[in-house]
Structure 1
Amino acid sequence: MKNIILIISILFVSASAKAQELQSYIQEAESNNPDIQKFELQYKRASEKVKEVNTIPNTEFGVGYFISEPETRTGAQRFKVSAKQMLPWFGTITSRENYVSSLADAKYEDIVIAKRKLVASVSQSYYNLYANKAKQEVLTENIKLLETYETLALTSVEVGKASAVDVLRLQMRQNELQQLKDVLHQQFLAEQTKFNNLLNRENDVTVYVVDSLIIPSEDFEINTENIALHPELLKYDKLYQSIEQSELLNQKESSPMIGFGLDYINVSERPNMDFSDNGKDIVMPMVSVSIPIFNKKYKSQTKQNELQQQEITSQKQERLNALETLLDKAINERISARISYETQTKNLKQAKDAEDILIKSYETGTIDFNDVLDIQELQLKFQMNQIESVKTYYVQSTIINYLIQ
């Protein structure tokens, strides 16, 4: 987790001082997120179960009273008290503990997976908020630019070099951009609610995002072999090991159980008789053995364990294939985002050059406001695409971090 946070921090080197906010948001989410707390409680409960299985069968006590007292040479038997304790075969309790511990180990991987997913979710939501905010700022700049063009158009109308239609077109375009900005603001509030819920806090808490992000000149190194150590795959290894422990326990439980007991019989003295053992009580130690001779459940359990191990192996391979596909897709989409960003940067420069030409044309007394609107629309498109490319780059980097860190 420290490596993930470190890499995310490195990605923000070129941003403003508020870039450190994401790391603090992640730490807050890990401390407060109820999903993480749920898995931690499940792990504690699974660990506590080790104490539950560290037991032996209940001790059996019995009391019997002879309604019709049987006569013996030493006297009549009055009542009987017995105690019996069955003990599992040697190592059975240890096998139970090992099995339950292995289940707890597998449950721990759920915590690691949940934390990784939380880091990815918080980061992606953060980048969505950044992109939304950046697009709103671009729209604000374009609205102001259109207001400047509107002023030029009004001046041109006064001198007869433009029509009122040009002014109305510029005003309608401003209205469209204001509508887009208002819609983005509502989307920002919805994403902010999602972000705050990830941190388990009030929905209306203001989220501060960085003012600007750029794609770094070089990508961080990707070691695709690390995907084999992903906790989603390690969990399958832990589950496989738990089945091995289950089979060891099954073998132990199929062994005999040994019982030790003691019977005490109270004997009354025979009246009018005098001999050495008259009325002597009976004490009888006992040893018993419980053998599952006709019980096929242990063989069936062995077969079930073998099938379950095969199932887990298939599930792990299936998940590995899915993660490798996701990683390859993220890498390629991040490369595409860089290509798109560079293309939009070139387009923006050319659009700016075209805008400068139009302004110079106005200075010479001629300007086509249709061209103005076309150039403005292209500039806005390139700016929006550039922001989207930056967001895509960082979102895909977050997915890559989730898979290989």
Structure 2
Amino acid sequence: MKINNPYIQKNFILILCTLFFTLSVKSQELQRLIEEALANNPEIQQFEMQFTIATEKVNEVNTIPNTEFSTGYFVSEPETRTGAQKAKFSVKQMLPWFGGISARENYATALSDAKYEDVVIAKRKLIASVSQSYYNLITIKDKQDILVINIDLLDTYEALALTSVEVGTASAVDVLKLQMRQNEMEQLQQILEQNYNAEQSLLNNLLNRTTSTNIVLTQELEIPFQDEITNSEDLVVHPELTKYDKIYHSVEQSELLNQKDAAPMIGFGLDYVIVQERPDMNFNDNGKDIFMPMVSLSIPVFNKKYNSKTKQNKLKQEEISFQKQDRKNKLKTALDKAISERNSAKISFNTQTKNLVQANNAEDILMKGYESGMLDFTQVLDIQELQLKFQMNQIEATKNYFIQSSIINYLSHHRND
């Protein structure tokens, strides 16, 4: 937003007041910064990596228990009819009950789905942070532009005051007052420069690039005539609430897995025994090795822990429902507050615009007094101070409007991920 002092360019403010209420389109410049932040921000990469790890866990659980191998050597060889047993080799494989592996996969998938919502939430927050920092930068830049115009205006007033001193219609005190006012302006200009550097550093950090990288600003903030319609129904699909739905679903899958874990496990195996031939005898099957297929069943007779897990899952579901409702209430409160403050910012802007027009009229009246040699520089300074105040308030109101808009966008926009 750029507002020039009416004494320098009298018609500019009227044109600008119209521009401020034209429909604002998201700038390509801001969109480019957002895309760069989403691609490079380390926090987003961290959440994406966590989601990738959670997804990989689906492959981790898609396995069956370890196959058991064992071997033994008979120190004291048991004698059988066909010979002495020398050694024994065994292999055994336990298998979960039907559907057990699928239940583990579904549970791991549900957890990864919930983790994905963290990525979506982090991206939304980053977009809001980049937008707000961008608006802050534009605000500081516009305030700097206003100060330059006002400092130039004070130079003009100083020249008029010096001329008036020469002809005896003003005193040296008027000149000193103008110069002190200029000093205050220059001080504020230096402070804004520091603020700009700090905000630019913050934005560069969000983009994960060198903090001193210069950000070129070409966008002007313009408050639109009509705001986008927003209501609490938009919160239904907000990722912070969708996450609770997915966590709830993961608990459901956890209970299904718990039921499968409470079922028996079946095992298959084979024992192989090496038998030594009896040298003093000659008959069929002398020294014949032993093969013994086996089937085993593991039954959780003491299933107290599974019953406890079922109760815990039910309690978790109730807890998640309460958490979701509490979060929904807080989001709705934040949305209502942002809408109210955005409306207040527009009201404030309109008021400051009216005040500025009246201050301009007062300035015109005072400046006409210069022609008759009756210019009161104290009043000129007071009016100039009011003009600067109203201009700064306009800029601040515009910033607040867009800051609240970024909060509303975070809370209400439908997901497009």
Q: 3-state DSSP class of the match of 2:384?
A: helix
Separation in 1, partners of 2:128, 2:21: 19
Report Cα offsets for 1:273-294 as digits up to 9, x if no partner: 2222322221111111111112
Separation in 1, partners of 2:312, 2:360: 70
Q: 3-state DSSP class of the match of 2:165?
A: helix
| Kept in 2: contact 1:15–1:211 (CA 8 A) | no
Aligned-residue Cα RMSD (Å) equals 1.7
Q: Quote how far apart the aligned CAs of 1:211 are.
A: 5.3
Q: Summarize the Cα distance change of 1:233–1:15 in structure 2 as closer, same or farther, 3 Å threshold.
A: closer
Q: Quote how far apart the aligned CAs of 1:264 are.
A: 1.1
Show the counterpart of 2:78.
Answer: 70
Show the counterpart of 2:45.
Answer: 37
- Greater displacement, 291-300 / 131-140: 291-300
Q: Summarize the Cα distance change of 1:86–1:353 in structure 2 as closer, same or farther, 3 Å threshold.
A: same
- Please show how residues 81-160 of structure 1 align to structure 2 within 5 Å: 81-160=89-168
| Kept in 2: contact 1:18–1:208 (CA 8 A) | no
- Please show how residues 202-213 of structure 1 align to structure 2 within 5 Å: 202-210=210-218, 212-213=220-221
Gaps of 5+ in 1: 1-10
Separation in 1, partners of 2:25, 2:193: 24
User: One-letter code of the match for 1:375?
Assistant: I
Ranges of 4+ aligned residues in structure 1 off by more than 6 Å: 15-18
| Kept in 1: contact 2:272–2:289 (CA 8 A) | yes
Separation in 2, partners of 1:332, 1:18: 22
1:285 equivalenced with 2:293 (yes/no) = yes
1:165 pairs with one of 173, 176, 199: 173
Report Cα offsets for 1:34-78 as digits up to 9, x if no partner: 111111111111111111111111111111111111111222111
User: One-letter code of the match for 1:176?
Assistant: E
Show the counterpart of 2:7.
Answer: none
- Greater displacement, 70-79 / 251-260: 70-79
User: One-letter code of the match for 2:220?
Assistant: S
1:305 equivalenced with 2:313 (yes/no) = yes
| Kept in 2: contact 1:19–1:210 (CA 8 A) | no
User: One-letter code of the match for 1:61?
Assistant: F
Report Cα offsets for 1:116-136 as digits up to 9, x if no partner: 111100000000001101111
Show the counterpart of 1:243.
Answer: 251
Show the counterpart of 2:406.
Answer: 398
Separation in 2, partners of 1:208, 1:72: 93
| Kept in 1: contact 2:165–2:172 (CA 8 A) | yes
Q: TM-score, normalised by structure 1?
A: 0.94
Show the counterpart of 2:35.
Answer: 27
| Kept in 2: contact 1:18–1:210 (CA 8 A) | no
Percent identity (aligned): 67
Separation in 2, partners of 1:156, 1:17: 49
| Kept in 2: contact 1:263–1:284 (CA 8 A) | yes
1:175 equivalenced with 2:183 (yes/no) = yes
Report Cα offsets for 1:102-146 as digits up to 9, x if no partner: 111011111111111111000000000011011111111111111
Show the counterpart of 2:335.
Answer: 327
Gaps of 5+ in 2: 1-18
